[in-house]
Chain A
Amino acid sequence: MTKPSASRGRRVPNGVRRAPYGFLLPAVVLFALFFALPIGYALWLSLHRIDVRGLGLGKGARQEVWAGLSNYTAALTDAELGHGALRVLGYGVIVVPVMLGLALLFALLLDTERVRARSFSRLAIFLPYAIPGVVAALLWGFLYLPDVSPFHYLLDRAGLPQPDLMDGGLLFGSLANIAVWGGTGFNMIVIYTALRSIPAEVYEAARLDGATPVQIALRIKIPMVAPSLVLTFFFSVIATLQVFSEPTTLKPLTNGISTTWSPLMKVYNDAFVAGNVYAASATAVVLALATFALSFALLRFADSRAKNRGTS
């Protein structure tokens, strides 16, 4: 893509050559200050610890000393962190498939001919996107609370036992439900946008062959929107691993959620409650690396799938 005017041997003026660097300056400065510098600082912190001499009083009694990888070995052998990682994985295994399955289903339904209430449903399902996670957790938390919950009321009237929605195994379902409720709409919009960009001619032949809408959806539409499914999957996994505000909000309503329920809650707790920023930084770096590794693995996997399809 060379510009025709530039190919006639005219020099690009200096102003034009320098402009993009000037335009990008704010983004680069902000990136350096609020992304690169904190990451570097976290790495530095994770390799240090506080050395307390004597009673830890007076000048020089508390010193930052090189700790090598000791914070990392502590983080990796921490049983509670492992439990937290397992809990979040279990939660993610529920959230991601259910949320994306529903998002895809609703997007396909919106794309069906002769559907009524299309714009109303689309807006209603999207609405939770505009509601803060804290408020969503608060609303659902009240709906789970035995004294207030309509589910408990109905079960009680029916004379059935009432399960505790915020403890044990059901807690995972209750937390997952908040994430599914909040995230389905946005993903539905992404997939629906991709569906609408498919030209109608693609379906014509299938229609003439007598394919049902369900067959068209399964054999034509879903393969056509595969890229947007990969994208939504990728972002959903990352967002799910970062769950923080929902369990933090529900904590006052139940004894089922500890301060270290998810790995990120543990990072917060280590740093701001226990006051050990060195251990917290090491845990944070481990989690960041795990997120990166998973992201790349997912992208490579999606890439290889796409290549295989292209050569077949």
Chain B
Amino acid sequence: MSTTSPAAVGRRTAPAAGTAPGTAQGPPRRFALLPTAALLLGAVYCLLPVAWVLVASTKSGSELFSTFTFLPGTGLADNLADLNAYREGIYWRWMANSGLYAGLGAVLSTAVSAVSGYALAVYRFRGREAVFNVLLAGVLMPPVILAVPQYLLMAEADLTDSRLSVLLPLILSPYGVYLGRIYAQAAVPGELVEAARMDGAGEWRIFLRIGVPLMSPGLVTIFLFQFTAIWNNFLLPYIMLSDDGKFPVTVGLFTLLAQGSTTPALYTLVITGALLAIVPLVALFLVIQRFWSLDLLSGAVKS
């Protein structure tokens, strides 16, 4: 919906020499009101649950069910203390586990995506498209369908309920390889690789010294994408892990909520835990967007 008056657009001709700018075009509008309002409405809708959890985490157990939803309570310090004390601070272990799985997994995943994407972009070899298409088809495999046999295979290897069982299956990311190839195609010129070969540099060295630096903005993107994907993952750890000392925060909160249906006292713990669980990622995106563009996530390449 726009508020432009057709008359103002229709007479949009180049101003004759000598006329002051802005005189022949009617009153200049300051900003588009309706589009701005619609966007802000969308922003409010998307921020609503976040605002709610900020408020709700300040309520004590009794306030949660008795006072108006968006009325802050008096229990934030108590809630944090309760969460801290809950089973010797197991919540912080969950957070540390999430950080470990997401951090280490995303580093390994970025490395594999970079080296595979670079190979698929820079070299011409037999079977290149076949390899790319087979890797990409992995996107179509529903994780649950993989999870049952993955669990059984991990059990054969005696790896279930280990940290490795959560880490290993997520290292290869089809979307990461796809992004890696796009960034390498856009950022690594063939002439540069050729010139380095003339100078006698080995292929691995060319990749590390030329490919990786040129691809770095894209690699940051792949890292963020994978970090988010692993941090937000629920299914794989839910299936693989039974020792709650190894849980990531998603599975930990889920088990808390499931117990909460019988003991509502746990609800305040769940809410406070949910707030703390979203802080790191939201902070990461807020901090990083100053020097990194969201558009890169969709495979956009600056030409």
Interface set of A (CB-CB < 8 Å, partner B) = 1, 3, 5, 15-17, 19-21, 23-24, 26-28, 30-31, 33-35, 37-39, 41-42, 45, 102, 105-106, 109-110, 112-118, 120-136, 138-140, 142-143, 147-150, 153, 181, 184-186, 189-190, 192-194, 196-197, 207-208, 210-214, 228, 235, 238, 241-242, 244-245, 248-249, 251-253, 264, 267-268, 271-272, 277, 280-281, 284-285, 287-288, 291-292, 295
In order of increasing CB-CB distance, the 6 nearest A-B pairs are: A23-B119, A124-B43, A38-B149, A150-B69, A19-B203, A121-B39
Let me know if A244 and B235 touch, CB within 8 A. yes
Rounded to whole Å, the gap between the CB of B193 and the closest CB of chain A is: 9
In this complex, which of B169, B235, B298 has the most chain A Cβ atoms within 10 angstroms of its Cβ?
Answer: B298
Shortest Cβ distance from A30 into B: residue: B172
Return 5 A-B CB contacts under 8 Å, by A number.
A42-B149, A121-B39, A127-B282, A132-B231, A184-B42
Interface set of B (CB-CB < 8 Å, partner A) = 1-2, 4, 6, 9-10, 12, 29-32, 35-36, 38-40, 42-43, 45-50, 52-53, 56, 64-65, 68-70, 112, 115-116, 118-120, 122-125, 128, 131, 134-135, 138-153, 168-169, 171-172, 177, 190, 194, 197, 202-204, 207, 228, 231-235, 238-239, 249-251, 253-254, 257-258, 260-261, 267, 270-271, 274, 277-278, 281-282, 284-286, 289, 294-295, 297-298, 300
Of B203, B258, B300, the contact of A193 (CB 8 Å cutoff):
B300
Known: A127-B47, A143-B52. A105 touches B146 (CB 8 A): no
**In the complex, what distance in Å separates the CA atom of A208 from the CA atom of B295?**
30
**In the complex, what distance in Å separates the CA atom of A249 from the CA atom of B203?**
49
**In the complex, what distance in Å separates the CA atom of A50 from the CA atom of B120?**
44
Chain A residues with CB under 8 Å of B267's CB are 142
Main secondary structure of the interface of A (DSSP, over half): helix
Chain B residues with CB under 8 Å of A121's CB are 39-40, 42-43
**In the complex, what distance in Å separates the CA atom of A290 from the CA atom of B10?**
53
Let me know if A186 and B297 touch, CB within 8 A. yes
Excluding A127-B47, A214-B1, 6 further A-B contacts by CB distance (< 8 Å) are A17-B125, A41-B153, A121-B43, A131-B281, A142-B271, A181-B45
**In the complex, what distance in Å separates the CA atom of A187 from the CA atom of B274?**
25
Known: A125-B43, A252-B261. A207 touches B146 (CB 8 A): no
**In the complex, what distance in Å separates the CA atom of A140 from the CA atom of B36?**
26
Known: A41-B152, A134-B254. A31 touches B138 (CB 8 A): yes
Chain B residues with CB under 8 Å of A23's CB are 115-116, 118-119, 123, 203, 207
**In the complex, what distance in Å separates the CA atom of A124 from the CA atom of B44?**
8
Of A21, A114, A271, A291, the contact of B142 (CB 8 Å cutoff):
A291
Let me know if B135 and A31 touch, CB within 8 A. yes
**In the complex, what distance in Å separates the CA atom of A105 from the CA atom of B270?**
35
Chain A residues with CB under 8 Å of B238's CB are 245
Main secondary structure of the interface of B (DSSP, over half): helix
Shortest Cβ distance from A208 into B: residue: B12
Let me know if B146 and A39 touch, CB within 8 A. yes
Chain A residues with CB under 8 Å of B282's CB are 127, 130-131
Let me know if A109 and B10 touch, CB within 8 A. no
Known: A45-B149, A132-B232. A118 touches B115 (CB 8 A): no
Let me know if A287 and B115 touch, CB within 8 A. no
Rounded to whole Å, the gap between the CB of B298 and the closest CB of chain A is: 4
**In the complex, what distance in Å separates the CA atom of A295 from the CA atom of B112?**
26
Chain A residues with CB under 8 Å of B231's CB are 132
**In the complex, what distance in Å separates the CA atom of A153 from the CA atom of B251?**
31
Rounded to whole Å, the gap between the CB of A177 and the closest CB of chain B is: 10
Let me know if B148 and A284 touch, CB within 8 A. yes
Known: A41-B153, A148-B64, A149-B69. A116 touches B36 (CB 8 A): yes
**In the complex, what distance in Å separates the CA atom of A67 from the CA atom of B147?**
22
Rounded to whole Å, the gap between the CB of A216 and the closest CB of chain B is: 9
Known: A37-B153, A42-B149, A267-B144. A135 touches B46 (CB 8 A): no
Chain B residues with CB under 8 Å of A118's CB are 39
Rounded to whole Å, the gap between the CB of B147 and the closest CB of chain A is: 8
Known: A112-B2, A126-B294. A30 touches B52 (CB 8 A): no
Rounded to whole Å, the gap between the CB of B127 and the closest CB of chain A is: 9
Let me know if A15 and B68 touch, CB within 8 A. no
**In the complex, what distance in Å separates the CA atom of A189 from the CA atom of B298?**
7
Chain B residues with CB under 8 Å of A122's CB are 294
Known: A35-B141, A189-B295, A288-B142. A139 touches B274 (CB 8 A): yes
Chain A residues with CB under 8 Å of B152's CB are 41, 45, 277
Let me know if A21 and B177 touch, CB within 8 A. no
